[in-house]
Amino acid sequence: MWPQFAIVRLPEDPDCLAVLGEIDICTAPQLRGSLRSAVRAAGRGTLVMVDLSAVSFIDARGLTTLVEAEAYASVRGIRLVFAGVPAGVTRLLTIIGLSLTGYGTC
């Protein structure tokens, strides 16, 4: 059975993506594509927020995808931040050095 997964990008806030479900080896390619599209659409100096409040699971491939997306954004002058991070994921993101934010969610 395939994991439940969706990415929501609201028209009124194109610099915010909400991720729902499991980020794993099956869903990471879709997330990577969506994050890159959001970064390409953002202007230099823009903050792109990724709302992870509805993420129920993340594996090593999912973490790699987030790290790669942050690097992709950084070299383009975009700040990629992660908001609404579930407690179980916060420690992992902090250990690998990803930018967490105190801002709200999408």
| Amino acid code (one letter) for 63 | L
Spans of all domains in the chain: 5-95
Packed helices 60-74 and 87-95: angle between N→C axes, nearest 10 degrees: 60
CA-CA-CA-CA torsion for 100, 52, 89, 65, nearest 10 degrees? Answer: -90
Segment 66-106, tens digit of pLDDT: 999 999 999 999 999 988 888 888 888 888 888 777 666 77
pLDDT of residue 103: 64
Segment 32-46, tens digit of pLDDT: 999 999 999 998 999
First to last CA, the chain: 29
5-95 placed in CATH 3.30.420.10: no
| Amino acid code (one letter) for 91 | R
Section 51-77 average pLDDT: 94
